[in-house]
Structure 1
């Protein structure tokens, strides 16, 4: 008898209240696919934008539609052409065509990588989109020890990873953020500065008058800032540039090897304690609407994650590990 679960669905473009749960049976895998029972899944702003219809041309939907790109889970079945990933293996990756906000997801085997036991489920579940976007941008800028990099929204889901990756590459990083995020930005190794009037002077002071060599805009209002700081266009990543990178990985088809290669590198960095992904909101799956509202409020640091209850033990994790952990978090902030 097939295991039963549930999936999140929406029947038209709209706000978070369009989301609803529908029953889901464990699907089957074609010859090059895996069936993964989802343990944790990340939420991304792009999920909300796509659901609202803001990217109808870039991400066309057929209704009823499902959402969710990032996930981590346990392989429950595999196609006959899949080798190297066993049934029962712990994996993380992205749901090709979306659908990660569900009990089960079917994905090409090339869309996942193995999850080491030392990487927590909630971290693995939210790593894909923010992590690949952050790493691709830092690599494309060729950040190095001679750089002074300004990163706006440095405490955000992508920004806090960019800060750490740039510092690991040897750069000096100045991170913009609200005053209540300054201690956190400082803990990452960056110099925090506050938004608002006088920002240019504060950045120059933080840089000790060294030239600013690169700027990454995660905030959406820093075009003039790059020009005033003398950052050349080739080393300025605008919000539109970041959006294009994010869309590339959001719509990845499982054929391009880059997403999985980047994800493997990110997992190695986490294993080496060279990268930390902050989970600031962690909700049981049934609280998906509240988790989405948390993300959409744009006040959280790091990532917002939902956790599903697994049916059996995986990688030494008790069957109710995420359910208990998520409930405890939710009750502590309710």
Structure 2
């Protein structure tokens, strides 16, 4: 099969198009023919060696954890899906090797969900990791009706989905972002505030009694969170482990087909949109990574296989 791989840690220049064996479809697994795979910052951070002390990497590595595609083969005891089904998944494994920037990828059946009918292939590929991250943080924090939620990084890939998900749960949402992104946050149902100096005062002006929930999707904002969190409030971060010392939760997204199906239902109900910035062909994955690394992209970067 065609695949983009790297055989040493580094930047986008280590990526190359190669031919790899088609993955074997084991018990409890589904072999997916990839239609689209989305880029996430974790992909190029892993490629740079940023997680080498946390996860084993077996070279050559096919990067990528987000996928939208069609079931090609069903493994033993994986009868929940059939050949030809259109599916999506956050296809992270316990090690780094066989990812989604290839013609085929195997996915544990527990991580798969059906592709939402309302989403294009590009949008469907961009939903799993970012959507699950936002969904799992907000649900574990018990976000519900009457809560005022502060989302740090509300214009980002995870944050913009977090604004929408929190709104569907009946919460009021305040989101930090640069002024250029404030109108987008309003469109999603949030109340924007500019980050940077004076952010505490700006949040307090909107929520004088403090916020009930704070979700950090960017890192480096713990002081702000603690300054605006009401007594008894809940907070979590996906980027700052030190939140544990102040009673917060440090979280990393888990693959979950059930959670992904919930997100798909929200999308099909018209309550969740996935913005797509640009789509690249598979052989231009290095350019897709470089665009993601630039930080100047609004919406998901997707690769067509």
Return the structure number with greater strand share: 2
1:298 alignment partner in structure 2: 295
State the alpha-carbon separation in 2 of the partners of residues 293 and 44 from structure 1: 11
Counterparts in 2 of 1:225 and 1:86: CA distance versus 1, 3 Å:
same
Q: Is contact 2:147-2:171 (8 Å) kept?
A: yes
Distance 1:103 1:231 in 2: 49
Counterpart in 2 of 1:272?
Answer: 269
How many residues end up aligned between the 2 structures?
A: 294
Partner of 1:30: 26
SS in 2 for 1:143: coil
- Contact 1:153–1:177 (CA under 8 A) maintained in structure 2: yes
Match of 1:245 in 2: 251
SS in 2 for 1:62: strand
Distance between the aligned counterparts of 1:138 and 1:181, measured in 2? 22
Corresponding position: 1:215 with 2:221: no
8 Å Cα contact 2:149/2:213 also seen in 1? yes
- Counterpart in 1 of 2:12? 16
The change in CA–CA distance for 1:40 and 1:233 in structure 2 (over 3 A counts) is farther
Gaps of 5+ in 2: 244-248
Q: Which TM-score applies when normalising by structure 2?
A: 0.89
State how 1:55-94 maps to structure 2 within 5 Å.
55-94=51-90
CA-atom RMSD in angstroms: 2.1
2:283 is the counterpart of 1:286: yes
Unaligned runs of 5+ in 1: 253-258, 309-334
CA distance in 1, matches of 2:53, 2:188: 37
What TM-score comes out, normalization by structure 1 length?
0.82
Where do 1:1-334 residues align within 5 Å? 5-24=1-20, 26-97=22-93, 98-207=98-207, 209-231=208-230, 235-238=234-237, 239-240=239-240, 245-246=251-252, 248-249=253-254, 252=255, 259-308=256-305
8 Å CA contact 1:24, 1:103 repeated in 2: no
**Distance in structure 2 (CA, Å) of the matches to 1:60 and 1:25:** 20
Q: Which stretch shifts more, 158-167 or 213-222?
A: 213-222
Whole-angstrom CA distance in 1 between matches of 2:136 and 2:77: 30
The farther-off stretch of 105-114 and 124-133 is: 105-114
In the TM superposition, residue 264 of structure 1 has moved relative to its aligned partner by 0.8
CA distance in 1, matches of 2:200, 2:90: 38
For residues 94 and 144 of structure 1, do their structure 2 counterparts lie closer, same or farther at Cα, with a shift above 3 Å needed? closer
SS in 1 for 2:57: coil
CA contact (8 A) 1:131 1:158 kept: yes
> Residues 79 and 198 of structure 1: is their aligned pair in 2 closer, same or farther, counting only changes over 3 Å?
closer
Give the drift of 1:194. Answer: 1.0
Q: 1:28 to 1:196 in 2, by over 3 A?
A: closer
